[in-house]
Amino acid sequence: MKDKAETHYHAPALEKGLDILELLAQSSQPLSTQVIAEQIGRKTNEMYRMLMVLRDRGYVVMDESGSRYQLSLKMFEMAHRFPPTKRLVQAAIPRMEALCHDISQSCHLSVLRPGYLLVVAQYENPDKMGFSLRLGAQIDIWGSGSGAVMLSFLDDARRERMLEASGATDEEARRTRALFSTIRHQGYFVGPSPQVQGLTNISFPVFGVHESIEAVITIPYLTLIPEAMHRDVPDIERCRALLGELAAALSEDIGGAAYSTS
């Protein structure tokens, strides 16, 4: 676990519960009570009591073996009930659905969380093939087009806090910072996916009131062969233009305005 930020106030029981939630959020596999205790540096009986409370409140669940714990979707659902996120998702879904049907691509909307982006809305390519991220997926803020767009439009202090929270190495942070000027100049990002070969990410910012960036909307563009699809499919430039229009409309929906490079 990362070192905790210094604070003048301490609530030991709360801190133990948050340690557990943060650890499980970072783990791709369910964890046993013993492993959780070892990673956090606490006694097993302490962790057991905390896990029972978190389980009873619905924040963690047991896996199929009945011996290991993983996060439930409760916090994800709570985040969706937060009015700004709920309003954003409600505005985005019908527009994303129409876009994906028009371009035969998938689309996802992500918002900022400490050190990463969280996918809060997505719509899959309605045709027979495509690439998409699942709802609730966490996106590296330093290793993705979406993350680079989000960081590009944050103020300096918040940007550095997010990079520090992400655990990015100095080299990873340097590579991400190198993208900021171009993104701010053109107002979007288009580039190869760092995780999936042959995939091109197209990402635009979504702005709220006071010109603050609220979300990033992305098409993970997959080159499709028209003959295999039995119809014309828009090229990457057309998809970029349509996604830009969607991002501008969505910004307007939530009280913001499209980004201007002038």
For 59-79, what is each residue's pLDDT tens digit?
899 888 888 999 887 776 665
Pick from 77, 70, 87: which is nearest to 33 by CA?
70
Q: What amino acid is encoded at 133 in this protein?
A: L
Radius of gyration of the chain measured on its C-alpha atoms:
20
Q: Is the pLDDT score of 176 beyond 70?
A: yes
Average pLDDT over residues 50-56: 91
| Residue-level pLDDT at 145 | 92
What pLDDT does 220 receive?
94
Gap between the Cα atoms of 245 and 251, Å rounded? 10
Q: Tell me what pLDDT residue 75 has.
A: 72
DSSP states of 119-170: EEEEE--SSS----PPTT-EEESSSSHHHHHHHHTS-HHHHHHHHHHHT--H
Calpha distance 206→184 (Å, rounded): 13
Integer CA distances (angstroms), 207 to 38, 40, 177, 260, in order: 42, 38, 21, 11
Domains annotated on the chain, with CATH: 12-72 (1.10.10.10), 78-253 (3.30.450.40)
Cβ contact 69:33 at 8 Å: yes
What is the average pLDDT score of the chain? 85
What would the mean pLDDT of 137-160 be, rounded to a whole number? 91
Burial (CB < 10 A; 0-12, 13-18, 19+), residue 39, is middle
Residue 5's pLDDT band, with cuts at 50, 70 and 90, is very low
Which residues on neighbouring strands pair with residue 201, listed in sequence order? Answer: 191, 220
Identify whether the C-beta of residue 176 lies closer than 8 Å to the C-beta of residue 163.
Answer: yes
Q: Which residue bears the tokens 């129409």? A: 98
Average pLDDT over residues 30-56: 91
C-beta separation of 30 from 69 below 8 A: yes
Res 82: pLDDT: 58
Residue 35: predicted pLDDT: 93
10 Å Cβ neighbour count for 220?
Answer: 23
Which one is predicted more confidently, 131 or 93? 93
CB atoms under 10 Å from CB of 168, counted, come to 20
Cβ burial 63-73 (10 Å sphere, 16+ → b, else e): eeeeebbebbe
pLDDT single digits (tens) 105-131: 999 999 998 889 999 999 988 776 667
Q: Is 163 exposed, middle or buried (0-12, 13-18, 19+ CB in 10 A)?
A: buried
pLDDT computed for residue 204 by the predictor: 97
Residue pLDDT, tens place only, 187-207: 999 998 877 777 899 999 999
Banded pLDDT at 262 (limits 50, 70, 90): low
Q: What are phi and psi of 208, to 5 degrees?
A: -105, -155
pLDDT at position 8 over 70: no
* Overall residue count recorded for the chain in this entry: 262
pLDDT confidence bin for 229, thresholds 50/70/90 = low
Helix, strand or coil, per DSSP, at residue 251: helix
Q: What is the DSSP-derived secondary structure letter of residue 132? A: -
Rounded to whole angstroms, the Cα distance separating 112 from 166 reads 11
Provide the pLDDT for residue 107: 96
